[in-house]
Structure 1
Amino acid sequence: MKCAFHAAQAFSGTSTIDLIPLKKELAQILHPISMYPRDVEKKRKIDFLKKASEYAQNYHSSIQQVYVRYVDAEQQVLIANSEGKYIEDTRVRSRFVIQSIAAEDNKLQAGFYAPGSSKGFEFLEHLDLQHYAHEASRIAVTMLNASPCPSGKFPVIIDNEFGGVLFHEACGHGLEASAVAKNNSVFANRIGEKVASDIVTYIDDGTLPNEWGSINIDDEGEHSRKNILIENGILKGYLIDKLNGRRMDAESTGSSRRESYRFAPTSRMTNTYIAPGKSTREDIISNTENGIYAKYMGGGQVDPATGDYNFAIMEAYLVKDGKLGKPVRGATLIGNGPTTIKHIDMIGNNLSHGAGMCGASSGSIPVNVGQPMLRVSEITVGGSEGGN
């Protein structure tokens, strides 16, 4: 009421405002829920977490600590605007998080996994808890005895699933209209230009059934859709919200998102991924003579205006003569996103997605990042061992 009062005081004299009657729409339910989390007793959820903790703890004697968490959320959305739009939606998401800590001879290493879905409790019921628990512990145990990673420029194989976080950060943000409309992106004003390798097709698709970053409608009431951003290396489009769309003289792509009503919506990603190619995992590894294999990516930093990035690798291996070698620790990828996507020379056929949270001006929102296994012909690798 206070905001409405102050807005009314901004008008002087008499003004005529044409009122457009609200017309209610129905949001198409693309991501059905079978077990709403609110209907599941807490003990049932706790029992699952205890079981996951036991799986992780019992994996190896060096596992000293296990952290498990289950998060579920139900968000009610109502959008009414001056264009006459009136639409409601309910968003339900569930996520399982596990971290294992291995310790030996004063050394500590962590392994982490955090799958999520736009589902209710059925997500946890059908989740392979043992697999994810064992993976978190396996990563920690494996890296405990890893050798220091060499530094230098190498071909780098990046595995599928959460490997896509590198391109989400280094390229995806540069394709959002919030950056493009202000010319704060290296991709601004380049529609139709070649910006990536011929084998790269980059997609954002909020309609993927029950995926973590999926939505029925965006936060301006536009229906979710599949947006092809880069096709066979050619820049085809951007992720556009209404405000920046007016600045760009372009239509919304159903990409306006926000954490809650406390934030103004803006262009954001949903499920963003590199489309699968034709190579097998075995092809990519066997055709790499001397490189680094990044099995699981860690955190990183990126400058969205330039695409310059710095990413840690949680689990990495040397590749020698077309075969996987010993595990290495302390590996960091240093490069530039627009340059890196031009140097992708092999893409696998094993597309998979990984869940994450993305923070920006409109808050923290769930997003999927994804890709098949792929190879970049050369990336600078910062390691814990000098030289190569």
Structure 2
Amino acid sequence: MITTNIINKILQTAIKYGGDFAEVFVEDKFNTNISVSNSNVEKGIVANDYGIGIRVFFGKTFAYTYTNNDSEENLIKITRELCSIYKKNGTTFVKPVLEPLSYIKEAKKYFSKTSYNQKIDVINQVISSGKSYDKAIDRMLVRYLDEEQNVLIANTDGVFVQDKRNKTRLLISAYANKNGVVQNGYIGPGAMMGFEFYDTIDLDYFGREAARSACDMVDADYCEAGQMSVVVDNGFGGLLFHEACGHSLEASSVAKGNSEFSGKLGQKVASDIVTLVDDGSIENAWGSLNVDDEGTKTKKNILIKNGILNGYMIDKLNSRIMNMDETGSGRRESYKYAPTSRMTNTYIEAGKSTRDEIIQNTERGLFVKNINAGSVNPVTGEFNFSVAESYMIENGKLTKPVKGATLIGTGGSILKLVDMVGDNLSIGQGYCYSASGAIYIGAGQPTVRISNMTVGGMK
């Protein structure tokens, strides 16, 4: 990490040459990536990435640069070059940074002190449990990830913090083969914890769960298309609302007027039983951060409360543009990206219905167990999702598994059509790809019913 003296000189240079705000982001990241297919190690990577990002504001716009060369001469040089883009007169006032506030939470078992064989043992246990689930499982593919990200963030407002983020995750895929038909099941547990995370979960359960999903889907018929009720299960089913509504509540879209929710604070945008939250402060959660990537403490942000639009996710730059407070939502993949407003752990709060009650009160519909992937246009809220695992609901009961289903609609419309919310809140783990790169996110919900929705299918 670079010295406090050099950080102060960077910030002073930025203000001297025309900036009205400057920020330094220093990152030192260590990570492991191991992929095993059945008993074959396909990839094993241990890597280190180090660099510095420098951002300067000029009113309501900014310039950004980054480097791996942390010499004082280079850092001052690129800061002056960055400011030359706007060629404004500078000032001299900068709040000096002194000693950083530390938000480091120590891991119980650091990845750097965990042997390669211990990591392989975790993978092999998952593979063994999946392979033993059913003879139709002819391949288990498990990817193990861990990361220790050390960051230091300083700016001309006097912020100076350091954070250590320990993250680990398994990406588990099972492949079932029956008479030449192959389907896969997937599950991906993860947390903001050290290697001790694997002492807190049932590895055999996750191997079997991926295998169960693959076996169910290999026997599935194709889904019929049409309008019907859709029941989305708890956990990563929340990806539906992450994509369909979450992106439209990020200030990066709202501030430009490129969101279906722009200018609607205080208005009714969802069913009375919907409360949508983004919370980056949940202990040990995959999408959590002690501080965001601008040095702001993360917190629970209630975006929609009982159907009323209550707030947005706001980063530092868009806080200026919107004249609203930051919400601890400034995020970036690494020092190579300027931060912007992004989600952390986004979920619908629990309601009062049980999962069984929701299914029993649905005469005909689609039960979505797992969502595969999706896309959304934040301006219109239009979305399209492919479904990884789903079942028909007929006369209040789950019946046959179906494949090839897609969910189509707009975020604004489905929020208003949620008519039952379960009491079984769970948050799944994933990644989000947007302007500031790929970031860790949690997406969750209890079991939720949307009374009427367009379902695309293969028949």
TM tier relative to shorter chain? over 0.9
Is 1:109 matched with 2:109?
Answer: no
CA gap 1:374/1:13 in 2 versus in 1, 3 angstroms:
closer
Is the contact between residue 271 and residue 367 of structure 1 (CA under 8 Å) also seen in structure 2?
A: yes
Letter in 2 for 1:67: L
- Correspondences of 1:21-100 after superposition (within 5 Å): 21-28=96-103, 33-100=107-174
What secondary structure, in the 3-state scheme, does the structure 1 residue paired with 2:185 have? strand
Is the contact between residue 103 and residue 162 of structure 2 (CA under 8 Å) also seen in structure 1?
A: no
What secondary structure, in the 3-state scheme, does the structure 2 residue paired with 1:124 have? helix
CA gap 1:14/1:337 in 2 versus in 1, 3 angstroms:
closer
Kindly state the Cα deviation for residue 75 of structure 1 after the two structures are TM-superposed.
0.4
From 328, 338, 342, give the equivalent of 2:402: 328
What secondary structure, in the 3-state scheme, does the structure 2 residue paired with 1:325 have? strand
Deviates more, 1:371-380 or 1:143-152: 143-152
Q: Distance in 2 between matches of 1:306 and 1:166?
A: 16
Kindly state the Cα deviation for residue 11 of structure 1 after the two structures are TM-superposed.
9.0
Is 1:201 matched with 2:287?
Answer: no
Kindly state the Cα deviation for residue 334 of structure 1 after the two structures are TM-superposed.
0.9
- Residue by residue over 1:90-124, the C-alpha shift from the partner in whole angstroms, topping out at 9 and shown as x without a partner, is 11101011101111122110100111100010112
Is 1:375 matched with 2:428?
Answer: no
Q: Distance in 1 between matches of 2:449 and 2:84?
A: 60
Letter in 2 for 1:18: F
Q: Distance in 2 between matches of 1:254 and 1:4?
A: 26
- Residue by residue over 1:169-217, the C-alpha shift from the partner in whole angstroms, topping out at 9 and shown as x without a partner, is 1100000000000001000010000000000000011111100001110
Letter in 1 for 2:128: E
Percent identity, please: 48
CA gap 1:80/1:152 in 2 versus in 1, 3 angstroms:
same
Q: Distance in 1 between matches of 2:249 and 2:84?
A: 39
> TM-score, length-normalised on structure 1?
0.96
Kindly state the Cα deviation for residue 313 of structure 1 after the two structures are TM-superposed.
1.2
Q: Distance in 2 between matches of 1:15 and 1:309?
A: 45
Kindly state the Cα deviation for residue 125 of structure 1 after the two structures are TM-superposed.
2.5
Is the contact between residue 103 and residue 164 of structure 2 (CA under 8 Å) also seen in structure 1?
A: no
Deviates more, 1:168-177 or 1:301-310: 301-310
Is 1:212 matched with 2:275?
Answer: no
Task: With a CA cutoff of 8 Å and minimum separation of 6, indicate the structure with the bigger relative contact order.
Answer: 1
Kindly state the Cα deviation for residue 384 of structure 1 after the two structures are TM-superposed.
1.3
Q: CA RMSD in A?
A: 1.6
Q: Which residue of 2 aligns with 1:188?
A: 262
Is the contact between residue 103 and residue 161 of structure 2 (CA under 8 Å) also seen in structure 1?
A: no
Kindly state the Cα deviation for residue 9 of structure 1 after the two structures are TM-superposed.
5.6
- Residue by residue over 1:64-108, the C-alpha shift from the partner in whole angstroms, topping out at 9 and shown as x without a partner, is 111011100000110111112111111110101110111112211
Q: Distance in 1 between matches of 2:90 and 2:272?
A: 56
Q: Which residue of 1 aligns with 2:392?
A: 318
Kindly state the Cα deviation for residue 27 of structure 1 after the two structures are TM-superposed.
3.9
- Residue by residue over 1:350-384, the C-alpha shift from the partner in whole angstroms, topping out at 9 and shown as x without a partner, is 00000001111111110000000010001111111
Please list every run of 5 or more consecutive structure 1 residues that lacks an aligned counterpart in the other structure: none
Is the contact between residue 32 and residue 210 of structure 1 (CA under 8 Å) also seen in structure 2?
A: no
Structure 1 segments of 4 or more deviating over 6 A? 10-14
Kindly state the Cα deviation for residue 234 of structure 1 after the two structures are TM-superposed.
0.1
Kindly state the Cα deviation for residue 298 of structure 1 after the two structures are TM-superposed.
1.1
Is the contact between residue 349 and residue 425 of structure 2 (CA under 8 Å) also seen in structure 1?
A: yes
CA gap 1:325/1:11 in 2 versus in 1, 3 angstroms:
closer
> TM-score, length-normalised on structure 2?
0.81
Q: Which residue of 2 aligns with 1:222?
A: 296
Please list every run of 5 or more consecutive structure 2 residues that lacks an aligned counterpart in the other structure: 1-73
- Residue by residue over 1:201-252, the C-alpha shift from the partner in whole angstroms, topping out at 9 and shown as x without a partner, is 0001111110000111011111111100000000000000110110001110
- Correspondences of 1:113-132 after superposition (within 5 Å): 113-132=187-206
- Correspondences of 1:250-265 after superposition (within 5 Å): 250-265=324-339
CA gap 1:12/1:146 in 2 versus in 1, 3 angstroms:
closer
> How many matched pairs?
384
Kindly state the Cα deviation for residue 26 of structure 1 after the two structures are TM-superposed.
2.1
